[in-house]
Chains A and B, each alone.
Chain A
């Protein structure tokens, strides 16, 4: 099955993490990774560790904030949530992604028909 999994496109993990936090509210690293895997329906080859690197990057840019909390099963974990700047960034990135995806889709369409 592994062969059918696609690697994550460069630069899209940030967008996915931001969107996940936007939809789900505060979440810990493992939770974010699980959520992306679920949504991806196992079509994405996600190395969970890279989510943590992504979180460090987003934290440094102040697009997300973090605080230590306790999980449902009483484990200490770091919870991340979207900041205002993060929300703005998400909107901008999502719009950009839509544009790019649209262009790619339009380019692929005639090829697919032909």
Chain B
């Protein structure tokens, strides 16, 4: 042990003073030779002969010097610089390969790392607050759905009393409120109702005035509001005397008591804060309002401890789903963003990872090809004493250099693109204050390093092992590398072709599925339609409206609709539960109607599909010009709640080319019901009872491919969405609608006035970017794979140049030779193409591409196969023709392939 330590220290000393070490070796060997020479002269040999004998006995001086240097320096470090220089020189020498390989790797790594970074920025970021990593959210975790949700107020109150591992326990909820400042117009703003502890957790002092205090939370306390810096600057013209001014929030006067500094937007992206009054008959309401709870880990407590405590404290009332719901403490951002890695995210990562494979295989093959041409060099180095490990190290280092360069370039690209995304991305509910897409997260850096290591392994190590495994000194030293590009080579070509053919259709379909709705647009003049949400007061959910009020709401919105229809700009008007395009997605179960004999194989198993669900007025279909394809639409007056109409996409999904009219469907009992807040908009008739499909209508958004179920609109639907077809543009329509509403009744609250084109764009924009990235990635991989296969095939044929030229000189007919060469190339490509097509078909069958947002693109697999084959054959033809024209004497002289 001690001896080993001494050895290392000595080696480090040697490394630091390489000149001294060299000089010492020289002196010592000289001394040795002189002593030996003297000795031999004394025994009667001539000095010249003595010198010769002494050298002979000492052995090769050069090797000795080298070995001694290796013994004295650090085992690898001293050779590292040499290898590094050689690596850079080799990369520069084969600059074409370096360029193609570097580009391929950069593209692939950028996509993979970029996706990871975005995901990390959205869900894994730590809060940009003092000790932000100790801020936690206390959520209700639904294990089955893998989502987080808010906590009932009664549970929150209980947690506040009993949880010890989290301090400053607070809660908030976001509400939409009408704000009036002075004579300004009514503005709909998003307000955080938050406990005073929220400001303690954030540890950010106000710019002016004070934050919310706990006494503000008491019933009967003066109503106060704290405003954000942006609002202070824009609405209050940065008035330093703003505190004490009164604003009206939902008609209730609130006193401004404080201004928070710039960049403060805790808890998510808020600019208005009012006290959360949690004690208010919360538990009597049904469903009980939920809040999002948060706090700071108590000093010395780690997150797992807090999580364990919270799980033990548990939930008071878990309703019917208590089996799957748990109280959990988690990192703040993770809790707020509400989900772990869903199936879709995993799929994106796996696809992105697969995208990395072809370029890697590509470069691995090309490097292997180059390695094969360097066999003679390796054999010579091996014969001169270079160990296999050293040669492998050298080759791996070359790959590592290439990959490291690509990784650095990728990180730069990811950060640049991230900065653009940061400006472009507008999340549906506003960007949270911690969202920073432009900087590289630490986890991303780690991920990039892992990816780079894997890529370097594939690109460098595998070909190196292959090459060194084949070191047969004599054959290679012969100069003419007699090495055959054997089965491994055919395998590599096949792998390359196969992977490209298999991966490209999957990535393409996925990308197309995501991009299509945005690229192709809604498929009708959506900008001519205006939608608005109508509610009774601020109630977001019919559960919060008394039955008597529902009737009143019915009268009010009918009156409102009539007033709207009388407007000259409105050509037609219809009602639905939610604006078309904003329907919640539910898992539905469909049962074929075997009695009616509509399915060929008798009993038909039930099938599940994710569908959007809306409840609509019968006039809905006419207003949107959706033709009836089969059956009929439901009769509004008969009020058949057991009847539904489905769109063409759903009909095709469940019945193929047949008609599903007469079949039955229901909400899947196994489906993880979305929280009532999102689902409450749509009346789910019967809550899981079977409904008959009475008709099939055209898709509204022709290009979205959304499966949609339309149910009859219940009598007292609340809230309600009104859709109008306009005859002209919509100048000032939003304000007019609001004014009209409040003219009819102060409680008739009109919000979300938007054109259908906006609704459509909003629901597709966020995924559009991801799709675009994936699509461009798939396209680059296609191009790079094509380039790779081209390089490969031309290399393969170029190696046979001598043989082809000689056979041509001996009288071989050129067409026959060409056919021979192409035949062999076709064989290699063919194996890959068949394997690739089979793999692609298998992937197409087993991957739920359409279920997770992909779209079938017919002919993508054959197109990929044909492209790759043609590219391969063209690549083989070029060098073969050049070889035919070559002078045989020249070919014979030429040792290099």
Contacts and interface: CB of A to CB of B under 8 A. Distances in A.
Interface string B29-44: 1011011101100000
B21 to A, nearest CB: 9
Interface string A45-77: 001111011001101111100000001010111
A75 B7 contact: no
A7 B63 CA distance: 19
B657 interface: no
A108 B413 CA distance: 70
B68 interface: yes
A75 B38 contact: yes
A48 B59 contact: yes
A76 B31 CA distance: 7
A88 to B, nearest CB: 10
B485 interface: no
A28 interface: yes
A13 to B, nearest CB: 13
Contacts of B600: none
A75 B31 contact: yes
Contacts, number: 77
Interface of A: 28-31, 33-34, 47-50, 52-53, 56-57, 59-63, 71, 73, 75-78, 85, 89
Contact of A61 (B3, B29, B61): B3
A84 to B, nearest CB: 12
B58 interface: yes
Interface residues of B, number: 28
Q: Which of B6, B31, B32 has the most CB of A within 10 A?
A: B32
Interface string B321-353: 000000000000000000000000000000000
Contact of B3 (A33, A63, A76): A63
Given A61-B3, A62-B3, 13 more contacts: A28-B31, A29-B28, A30-B36, A47-B59, A48-B57, A50-B59, A52-B28, A59-B10, A61-B6, A73-B38, A77-B31, A77-B35, A78-B28
A54 to B, nearest CB: 9
Interface string B63-97: 11001100110000000000000000000000000
Interface string B1-41: 01110110011000000000000000111011011101100
A28 B10 contact: no
Given A62-B6, A75-B38, A56 B57 contact: no
Interface string B614-651: 00000000000000000000000000000000000000
A108 to B, nearest CB: 32
Contacts of A49: 29, 58-61, 63-64
Given A49-B59, A52-B28, A75 B71 contact: no
Given A52-B64, A56-B68, A60-B11, A30 B59 contact: no
Contacts of A50: 59
Contacts of A31: 35
Given A30-B36, A73-B38, A77-B35, A52 B29 contact: yes
Contacts of B7: 57, 60-61
26 contacts: A28-B35, A30-B32, A30-B36, A30-B39, A31-B35, A47-B57, A47-B58, A47-B59, A48-B57, A49-B29, A52-B28, A52-B29, A53-B71, A56-B71, A56-B72, A57-B71, A59-B10, A60-B11, A60-B71, A61-B3, A62-B2, A63-B3, A73-B35, A75-B35, A78-B28, A89-B3
Contacts of B38: 73, 75
Nearest to A57: B71
Contact of A48 (B4, B11, B58, B68): B58
Interface in B474-493: none
Contacts of A47: 57-59
